[in-house]
Homo-oligomer: A and B are copies of this chain.
Amino acid sequence: MPPSVTFVISSCSVQESKSTGMATKKLGMDFVKQMSEYASGSNGFDRVLRMIKITGGGDGRAIGEFTVANEHLNRQGTLHGGLTATIVDNCTTYALMSKGSHPGVTANLNVSYIAAAKPGEIIEIDCHTVRAGKKMAYLDCILRRKSDGKIIAKGGQVKYIQFDKEKLDF
């Protein structure tokens, strides 16, 4: 996942927050967009997520969508489970970071595959932060077919996050 250190977010909409248990700044949809672009702009494995367009989010949530294409398929001609898992991994992290948290490290990832997604279908991604405490974060993600809302997959991850005020002041 993106580092918590070197990048600069210049234009994100920052809201002040008084939450004591969590971060001091909550970040808006612009921030989620920038995180997504920053990640998938790399030559690393994040590049496989270039097709995702962020459509909403901020303050612990990340919403996006993409159209299933040939390069996303398994040998049975449907959305590859490994790509689904990669989406869950990254997009929940964008959601977490929009709470003002640094990305942390994943301890556990879990995905249930509920229905197949086919080429040409638009899939909506909706991730949210269930809890981001001082040490651990719990994140959920759901993938739905846009045309009728049918759930394609559900998953989430547990991350270790070292709460650290300095790091949150981007």
Contact = CB atoms under 8 A, between A and B. Distances in A.
A14 interface: no
Interface of A: 1-3, 38-39, 42-48, 70-77, 80-83, 85-87, 89-90, 103, 105-116, 130-131, 135-136, 138, 140, 151, 154, 156, 158, 160, 162
Nearest to A48: B48
Given A44-B73, A72-B45, A85 B109 contact: yes
Identical copies in the complex: 4
23 contacts: A1-B76, A39-B75, A42-B73, A44-B70, A45-B48, A81-B85, A81-B86, A82-B82, A85-B86, A85-B89, A85-B109, A85-B111, A107-B107, A107-B108, A107-B112, A108-B111, A108-B113, A108-B158, A109-B112, A109-B113, A110-B110, A112-B138, A136-B160
Q: Classify the secondary structure of A's interface with B.
A: mixed
A164 to B, nearest CB: 13
